[in-house]
Amino acid sequence: MQRKISPVAQKAVAHYIAESERLNQACDNESLKQIREQAQALLKQQGFPTQRDENWQYTRLTNFVQKHFEVKPASKITSEQLHKFMPDFAVTKVVFVDGWFNESLSDDLAALPKGVSFESLQDTFDIAGDTSALFSSESEITKEPFGVLNSLLLADGFYLQLSANAHLELPLFVLNIQTEGQHMSNLRNRIELADNAELTLIERYVTLETSTQDNDSMACTNVVTEVNLAKHTRFKQVVMQEQDDNAFYFNNQYIYQDDSSSCMSFYGSMGSQLSRHQNHIFMNGEHIESQQNSACLAKDKQTVDSRTDTQHNDVWGNSQQLHKYVLTDHAVGVFNGMIRVDQKAQKTDGQMDNKNLLLSDTAKMDTKPQLEIYADDVKCSHGSASGQIDKNQIFYLQARGIRRADAIKMITHAFLLEPVEVINNAAIRQWVTARLSAGLASVQKKVRE
């Protein structure tokens, strides 16, 4: 159906279609061109969502639509410049600069263990003639407006395959770094784990240099990741979004799980003026475990949006979620969770919890924890609570001699970090804790005043 699109949005649509056409002119992979063309048609039809769309009523795209991000070539940076973004434990490093894979800055990926194959998507497109198999969930992805935009500008990302029983000793650390203003880092990743394979993946999204307030330095990252988990696979993922406070961040993850697979996905969000991270989990087998946690921190006029759509499609599935938000200044927090239990999915256990702390008078939290249940022998619940720090808690700590400001700090800290406990690798957990603590410290300086 043709929608009414505002003149401002029309301009943005025209801009992105022109970008897409430009990419297509320089491309000889037919299946890739086709994907982009389909997306062009969809974008022309739909434009960008507005507040009238149920899924966007709390997440305003006004600023985004006014910007016209371009897909530019990557700028050159040195490994010294990267150093400060690396964790203090051993990892296998993969670097993307402005959305383009950088081989020289990454570890030697040819040396990965047997059964593990890593390719940049650009290489895959260049080598393989028919890449249509890579787009098996295209119809699902283009249901999301930023999925459409991702297909429209599709150019690079990674394609990671683990064969049966394979696993990586070290966590795979994917660093996504924005260096250019006005730029769109458009990433499409695909991960496939064959039976009994195991992977620990860390993704970090950063900006090379913190920008000043001017518009020219703003950049945007738009990611789509598809994860296919075969039987008995174990997938652990940590995503840290720490881009510059002017940036935009969109991420849609599609995770397909088969029998007895387990998936743990943690999202930590601190940066960007507008960030939206969305998990689409399809539990298409028996005895699947799925854990999704997030810790979101927002200040100034940031909008942080985290959402999950968990589809229980078979028996004995177990999904657990804990999402926590700390908001201050004029920040807006949005949580939207859906647990859908198919008629076939008896014995489902689905729990979703969302808790929010508002540290200022002007912060705002919008939350929608939803259940849609079609099977009768299930255990499902959701809970949501929003409010200030409990005065009694503060007083209790004060009564033990702790200064008020420290008491607030301690309580807030403990509140935000609870979802982190799900990360069972101690080194990774400590690293995430340190990142979030640093973020909190900068927020709390303001609160103390």
Query: Dihedral, CA atoms, 298, 99, 419, 400, nearest 10 degrees?
Result: -50
Q: To the nearest whole angstrom, how small is the minimum distance from the Cβ of residue 131 to other proteins?
A: 39
Question: Distance between alpha carbon 51 and the CA centroid of its chain, in Å?
Answer: 21
Greatest pairwise CA separation for the chain in angstroms: 71
Q: Which one, of 267, 207, 277, lies nearest residue 242 by Cα?
A: 207
Pattern 55-94, other proteins, x by CB under 8 A: ---x------------------------------------
Residue list 93-132, contact with other proteins (CB under 8 A): none
Place of tokens 């008896």: 346
* Closer to other proteins by Cβ: residue 86 or 373: 373
Residue 393 backbone dihedrals phi, psi, to 5 degrees: -65, -45
Residue 46: which H helix or E strand, with range? helix 30-46
Residue 108 CA: distances (Å) to CA of 128, 162, 163: 22, 17, 19
Residue list 384-413, contact with other proteins (CB under 8 A): 384-388
* Closer to other proteins by Cβ: residue 264 or 345: 345
* Closer to other proteins by Cβ: residue 27 or 380: 380
Q: To the nearest whole angstrom, how small is the minimum distance from the Cβ of residue 171 to other proteins?
A: 36
* Closer to other proteins by Cβ: residue 136 or 370: 370
Among 45, 343, 398, 442, binds other proteins (CB under 8 A): 343
Among 26, 54, 399, 445, binds other proteins (CB under 8 A): 54
Q: Are 254 and 282 in contact (CB under 8 A)?
A: yes
Residue 22 CA: distances (Å) to CA of 1, 28, 105, 127, 220: 27, 12, 28, 21, 19
Q: To the nearest whole angstrom, how small is the minimum distance from the Cβ of residue 310 to other proteins?
A: 14
**Range 419-422 contact pairs with CB under 8 angstroms and sequence separation of 24 or more:** 419/266, 419/293, 419/294, 419/295, 419/322, 419/323, 419/324, 420/266, 420/268, 420/293, 420/295, 422/264, 422/266, 422/291, 422/293, 422/322
Q: To the nearest whole angstrom, how small is the minimum distance from the Cβ of residue 365 to other proteins?
A: 4
Cα four-point dihedral sign 441, 446, 447, 449? positive
* Closer to other proteins by Cβ: residue 385 or 434: 385
Pattern 350-389, other proteins, x by CB under 8 A: ------x-xxxxxxxxxxxxxxxxxxxxxxxxxxxxxxx-
Place of tokens 């979101």: 296
State in Å, rounded, how far the first CA of the chain is from the last one.
52
* Closer to other proteins by Cβ: residue 54 or 214: 54
Q: To the nearest whole angstrom, how small is the minimum distance from the Cβ of residue 383 to other proteins?
A: 5
* Closer to other proteins by Cβ: residue 58 or 96: 58
Q: To the nearest whole angstrom, how small is the minimum distance from the Cβ of residue 279 to other proteins?
A: 19
Q: To the nearest whole angstrom, how small is the minimum distance from the Cβ of residue 446 to other proteins?
A: 14
Question: Distance between alpha carbon 36 and the CA centroid of its chain, in Å?
Answer: 22
Residue list 165-224, contact with other proteins (CB under 8 A): none
Does 51 engage in binding with other proteins (CB under 8 A)?
no
Count of residues near other proteins by CB under 8 A? 36
Q: To the nearest whole angstrom, how small is the minimum distance from the Cβ of residue 354 to other proteins?
A: 9
Q: To the nearest whole angstrom, how small is the minimum distance from the Cβ of residue 366 to other proteins?
A: 5
* Closer to other proteins by Cβ: residue 128 or 375: 375
Q: Are 245 and 271 in contact (CB under 8 A)?
A: yes
Residues contributing to the site for other proteins (CB under 8 A): 54, 58, 343, 346, 356, 358-388
